Amino acid sequence: MDIEAIIEWILRNPQRYPGTHSTSQPRSDHSLKPVEPASQMQLIWKATVEYIHEKLLQGKGVNIPNFGAFTFIIETELPRIGSINPNLGDINEQRLERQHLHKNFPIFVPDTTLQYVLARYHGKNYLEKPASQRSIYQRGFQMIYCNPVPIAMACYLDKNIVKDTHNAIFKAIKDLAKLGRTLHIPFDFAVISIQNLSLNAKFNANFKRQANEKTYETKMRKSDDPCSTFWKTTTEAKWRQSALSTLWVPPSHERTQSMNEKTLALKIMSLDLASTARPNTTSFN
């Protein structure tokens, strides 16, 4: 079962998965029309995948409550202390190469509630778990939680609809896994497969390459960013730089006004046609 089949399962069992996701909800932008519940949930899922992918490319791990966390295993190589030779190429490129000491391995850590359902999951702990660190936020690299607010802004929906959709999808995944169903959960950067009560995560080769580029080191080190950038960058500026801000562009004001004018003209035409009476065909003898 793919994500479309999982959404169909959820909508067929509204009593099992209650929430605002089961009905069509109004959009925050009035120029956008509400969509049917299945399309609404697929809209939220696509924005969620884009959000997680963007955060991973920024060097952050993302924890999805009741499902799992995407993060990295980081192995550090010995410092390269060789001299920089201007005759071997650009000096800045050589400096980046010398500072590129970390090798990143993207991993998926299932939530404990999901691991409980997966009776045949190998249970290997990719991340070391010291006794003092009980939370995934203490173990993953720069871990953050999956924030529903930017996802809701990208979909032009209320954040509570996003929360209900997430809860329903991840609860349905656990229920279907418990029933022994084979699940194929695609992300843009990875595929999570659940089969025979076990789990396997396979990451895209292109994403692995991006996570090990020389310039990725600067995203992982917060010390490279000047303090002025941190304090002067507003939330609005961050949103404009995000891929979610352009994921779905609302229709322009001119196009919306033109559509409203056509709708109004059709309404007036319908009233004119409805008010037209049939001619009296009674014959006079």
Q: What pLDDT score does 172 carry?
A: 93
Residue 76 domain-assigned (yes or no) = yes
| Position 209 pLDDT exceeds 90 | no
- The CA-based diameter of the chain, rounded to the nearest angstrom, is 117
Provide the domain limits for residue 128.
3-247
Residue 273 domain-assigned (yes or no) = no
Residue 256 domain-assigned (yes or no) = no
* Number of separate domains in the chain: 1
Measured distance CA(171)–CA(165) in Å, rounded: 10
Phi-psi region at 119: left, alpha or beta (left = phi > 0; alpha = psi -120 to 50):
alpha
Residue 258, both tokens: 């033109």
| Position 254 pLDDT exceeds 60 | no
Element (H, E) at 221: none
pLDDT tens figures, 173-195: 999 998 888 999 988 889 999 98
Residue 30 domain-assigned (yes or no) = yes
Residue 66 domain-assigned (yes or no) = yes
Percent of the chain, pLDDT > 90?
18
Per the prediction, the chain carries an average pLDDT of 78
The whole model's pTM is what? 0.75
Measured distance CA(269)–CA(266) in Å, rounded: 5
Residue 155 domain-assigned (yes or no) = yes
Element (H, E) at 105: strand 102-110
